[in-house]
């Protein structure tokens, strides 16, 4: 494909993009229970206005755009105020949860290089429920990830198991407030005591839960402490583009002190161009996301957030109760927040995804790894408050529609044949066979999820990773539009 020889009119360009977007999820209806965090049209409007106002300003250069440094510092101060208001806490605005988590790991690596130079092969302890972003961080930064099991009943990280996994090479422990998969809060105070006892850094990932939990507590939720008020917590991440309803990408990474945050920075004067001083991963970056976050937070204010959190809290209680009462469904974990996982013993829960999609609802598959069984996930939004009955009705209908679908026989066969397979032994022919068996057309994204998800769920994680790499490597290729 070539760049079009002649430019199009603005109207043509807009119409073409609108046409492309027509196939995307219609999330404003509130029925996409993941990926989207929507607080309604007014919040969208002020966020967009501020985003556009600062779209072209460059946060690489606070000397040229001093307003952006002020905006960033105010955002971080509000975040620190929200997470315990402990003096000395500093941080930065990042492009999202993944960048915040990566920077927490990078800080730990460089801090340990400076303070524990004898450690040559650093290790980070990750409960299996810690977000995959930390695995990505370890992968990018050359750190060994040490995955440890969580309680098979509650899916919470286990302080004793974590302590056992500590070696002379350990540099950091990670826990979640809350975990994405099951929405549970790890026992942060106990894990912090372990971290302190062994003189280790301790990151609490509040990307998805950090913003809401303080509101849930104010509304009466009985939850343990999880923020900087807990001695031993050395860093935290909290996304603003989730339940602070700011446009993507907006997150913060916070450190207990400037002394620690120093190791997050990348600075070089050792080349022929301008001096690089990057507190975060991006260098040149649009001021749009941070200005939009500032606008939304100032527009909603604490009162507005409390009101929205209350809607999520009641919607979650209603939906959790509804799932409990639905014959054929079972909760996986007891959520402390608004992330809810559930499954079925009667049929593959992945059929629910297709059935709910046919009724307009978007829900997510989660594979059964590391002692967590295959399940489906929903992140309940504030709009769900008005739609909880509709959601539960669609879910009950879907459960009835799934009653005789059972479990995939192909998946059972795949499990028997491939369970011990090494990823390297998997070849393109097998890949093609697998995709055809799952009903996926050449070069297309799957139309229905149940068969493919059941098959992937049975493969060892390393093989699934291989399959997904090949699959997506083949999808990100230009093909003419159908
Ligand atoms: C607990 C947790 N940490 C980190 C992330 C990564 O955030 P992002 O998708 O913004 O990169 C997520 C995303 O859902 C999350 O739930």
98 C-alpha to ligand 1 centroid (Å): 6
CB-ligand 1 contact for 39 (6 Å cutoff): no
Range scoring the smallest mean pLDDT among 108-117, 213-222, 331-340, 362-371: 362-371
Domain-embedded: residue 83: yes
Of 244, 265, 295, the last residue of a domain is 295
Give the single-character DSSP code of 32: B
Is the model's pLDDT at 440 over the cut of 70?
yes
134 C-alpha to ligand 1 centroid (Å): 10
In terms of domains, do 120 and 260 share one? yes
Domain-embedded: residue 452: yes
CA distance 441 to 453: 15
Q: What does the DSSP assignment read for 158-211?
A: -HHHHHHH--TTEEEEEEEBS-TTT--B--HHHHHHHHHHTT-EEEEE-TTTTT
Report the pLDDT value the prediction gives residue 431, as an integer from 0 to 100.
Answer: 76
CB-ligand 1 contact for 208 (6 Å cutoff): yes
Domain-embedded: residue 8: no
Percent of the chain with pLDDT over 70: 99
Pick the closest to residue 436 from 455, 416, 457 (CA basis): 455
Pick the closest to residue 242 from 139, 452, 85, 96 (CA basis): 96
Domain-embedded: residue 329: no
Report the pLDDT value the prediction gives residue 342, as an integer from 0 to 100.
Answer: 98
Q: How many domains does the chain have?
A: 2
Residue 175, strand partner residues: 204
Tens digits of residue pLDDT in 39-80 = 999 999 999 999 999 999 999 999 999 999 999 999 999 999
Angle between helix axes 384-402 and 350-358 (nearest 10 degrees) is 120
Tens digits of residue pLDDT in 11-45 = 999 999 999 999 898 999 999 998 999 999 999 99
Question: Residues 237, 99: contact at Cβ < 8 Å?
Answer: no
Report the pLDDT value the prediction gives residue 447, as an integer from 0 to 100.
Answer: 67
209 C-alpha to ligand 1 centroid (Å): 10
CB-ligand 1 contact for 134 (6 Å cutoff): no
Is the model's pLDDT at 451 over the cut of 70?
yes
**Which helix (DSSP H) or strand (DSSP E) does residue 91 occupy?**
strand 90-94
Predicted confidence band at 463 (pLDDT cuts at 50, 70, 90)? confident
CB-ligand 1 contact for 240 (6 Å cutoff): no
Question: Residues 315, 162: contact at Cβ < 8 Å?
Answer: no
Tens digits of residue pLDDT in 208-262 = 999 999 999 999 999 999 999 999 999 999 999 999 999 999 999 999 999 999 9
428 C-alpha to ligand 1 centroid (Å): 32
Task: Compute the mean pLDDT over every residue in the chain, rounded to the nearest whole number.
Answer: 94
300 C-alpha to ligand 1 centroid (Å): 22
Domain-embedded: residue 77: yes
Cβ-based burial of 446 (10 A; exposed 0-12, middle 13-18, buried ≥19): middle
Question: Residues 90, 104: contact at Cβ < 8 Å?
Answer: no
Predicted confidence band at 183 (pLDDT cuts at 50, 70, 90)? very high
Cβ-based burial of 36 (10 A; exposed 0-12, middle 13-18, buried ≥19): middle
CB-ligand 1 contact for 98 (6 Å cutoff): yes
Question: Residues 210, 241: contact at Cβ < 8 Å?
Answer: no
Of 251, 273, 295, the last residue of a domain is 295
Six token digits for residue 296: 């939304």
Predicted confidence band at 425 (pLDDT cuts at 50, 70, 90)? confident
Q: Which atom of ligand 1 is nearest to 179's Cα?
A: 1
Pick the closest to residue 447 from 23, 30, 18, 31 (CA basis): 23
Query: Tell me, what CATH number does 227's domain have?
Result: 3.40.640.10
CB-ligand 1 contact for 101 (6 Å cutoff): yes
Query: For atom 4 of ligand 1, which residue has the closest CA?
Result: 97
Per the structure, the complete domain to which residue 413 belongs is given by: 409-475
Strand positions, DSSP E, 224-354: 235-239, 251-255, 266-268, 276-278, 330-331, 339-343
Is the model's pLDDT at 158 over the cut of 80?
yes
Q: Which atom of ligand 1 is nearest to 251's Cα?
A: 10
Report the pLDDT value the prediction gives residue 434, as an integer from 0 to 100.
Answer: 77
CA distance 481 to 296: 37
CB-ligand 1 contact for 395 (6 Å cutoff): no
Testing ligand 1's pocket by substitution, the residue of 156, 157, 239, 364 carrying the most ligand atoms inside 8 A of its CB is 239
Query: For atom 8 of ligand 1, which residue has the closest CA?
Result: 97
Is the model's pLDDT at 460 over the cut of 90?
no
Domain-embedded: residue 222: yes
Q: Which conformational region is residue 142 in: left (phi greater than 0), alpha (psi within -120 to 50 degrees), or beta? A: left
Domain-embedded: residue 347: no
Predicted confidence band at 328 (pLDDT cuts at 50, 70, 90)? very high
Q: What's the residue count for the chain? A: 482
Tens digits of residue pLDDT in 259-310 = 999 999 999 999 999 999 999 999 999 999 999 999 999 999 999 999 999 9
Cα torsion 315, 321, 327, 331: sign: positive
Query: For atom 10 of ligand 1, which residue has the closest CA?
Result: 97
**Which helix (DSSP H) or strand (DSSP E) does residue 436 occupy?**
helix 428-437
Q: What does the DSSP assignment read for 386-416?
A: HHHHHHHHHHHHHHHHHTTT---HHHHHHHH
CB-ligand 1 contact for 207 (6 Å cutoff): yes
Predicted confidence band at 430 (pLDDT cuts at 50, 70, 90)? confident
202 C-alpha to ligand 1 centroid (Å): 18
Q: What does the DSSP assignment read for 169-184?
A: TEEEEEEEBS-TTT--
Domain-embedded: residue 117: yes
Predicted confidence band at 461 (pLDDT cuts at 50, 70, 90)? confident
Of 295, 324, 345, the last residue of a domain is 295
In terms of domains, do 158 and 280 share one? yes
CA distance 30 to 39: 10
Is the model's pLDDT at 84 over the cut of 90?
yes
The phi and psi torsions of 415 (rounded to 5 degrees) equal: -60, -45
Residue 18, strand partner residues: none
In terms of domains, do 96 and 245 share one? yes
Tens digits of residue pLDDT in 373-406 = 999 999 999 999 999 999 999 999 999 999 999 9
Q: Which atom of ligand 1 is nearest to 176's Cα?
A: 1
In terms of domains, do 223 and 98 share one? yes
Q: What does the DSSP assignment read for 225-247?
A: --STTSTT--EEEEESSSTT-PP
């Amino acid at each position: 494909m070539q760049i079009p020889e002649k430019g199009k009119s603005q109207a043509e360009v807009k119409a073409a993009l609108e046409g492309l977007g027509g196939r995307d999820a219609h999330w404003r209806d509130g029925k996409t229970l993941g990926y989207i965090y929507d607080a309604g049209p007014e919040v969208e409007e002020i966020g967009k206005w501020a985003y556009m106002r600062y779209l072209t300003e460059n946060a690489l250069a606070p000397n040229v755009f001093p307003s952006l440094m002020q905006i960033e510092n105010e955002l971080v101060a509000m975040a620190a105020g929200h997470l315990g208001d402990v003096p000395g806490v500093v941080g930065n605005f990042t492009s999202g949860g993944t960048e915040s988590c990566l920077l927490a790991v990078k800080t730990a690596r460089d801090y340990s290089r400076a303070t524990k130079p004898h450690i040559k092969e650093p290790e980070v302890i990750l409960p299996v429920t810690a977000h995959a972003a930390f695995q990505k961080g370890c992968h990018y930064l050359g750190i060994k990830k040490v995955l440890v099991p969580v309680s098979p009943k509650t899916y919470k990280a286990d302080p004793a198991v974590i302590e056992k996994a500590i070696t002379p090479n350990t540099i950091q422990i990670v826990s979640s407030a809350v975990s994405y998969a099951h929405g549970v809060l790890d026992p942060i105070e106990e894990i912090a005591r372990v971290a302190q006892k062994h003189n280790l850094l301790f990151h609490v990932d509040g990307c998805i839960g950090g913003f809401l939990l303080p509101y849930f507590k104010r509304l009466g939720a009985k939850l343990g402490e999880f923020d900087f008020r807990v001695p031993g917590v050395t860093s935290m991440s909290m996304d603003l583009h989730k339940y602070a309803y700011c446009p993507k990408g907006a997150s913060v990474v916070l450190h207990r002190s400037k002394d620690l945050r120093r190791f997050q920075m990348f600075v070089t004067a050792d080349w022929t161009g301008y001096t690089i001083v990057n507190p975060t991963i991006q260098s040149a970056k649009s001021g749009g996301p941070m200005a939009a976050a500032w606008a939304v937070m100032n527009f909603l204010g604490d009162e507005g957030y409390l009101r929205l959190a209350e809607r999520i809290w009641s919607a979650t209680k209603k939906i959790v109760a509804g799932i409990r009462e639905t014959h054929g469904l079972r909760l996986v974990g007891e959520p402390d927040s608004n992330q809810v996982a559930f499954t079925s013993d009667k049929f593959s829960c992945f059929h629910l995804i297709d059935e709910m999609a046919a009724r307009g609802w978007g829900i997510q598959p989660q594979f059964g790894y590391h002692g967590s069984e295959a399940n489906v996930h929903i992140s309940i939004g504030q709009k769900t408050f008005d739609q909880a009955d509709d959601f539960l009705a669609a879910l009950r209908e879907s459960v009835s529609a799934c009653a005789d679908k059972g479990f995939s026989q192909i998946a059972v066969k795949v499990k028997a044949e491939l369970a011990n397979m090494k990823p390297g032994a998997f070849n393109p022919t097998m890949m093609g066979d697998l995709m055809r068996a799952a009903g996926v057309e050449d070069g297309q994204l799957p139309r229905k999820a149940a068969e493919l998800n059941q098959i992937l769920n049975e493969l060892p994680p390393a093989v699934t990773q291989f399959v997904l790499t090949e699959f997506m490597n083949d999808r990100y290729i230009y093909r003419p539009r159908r």
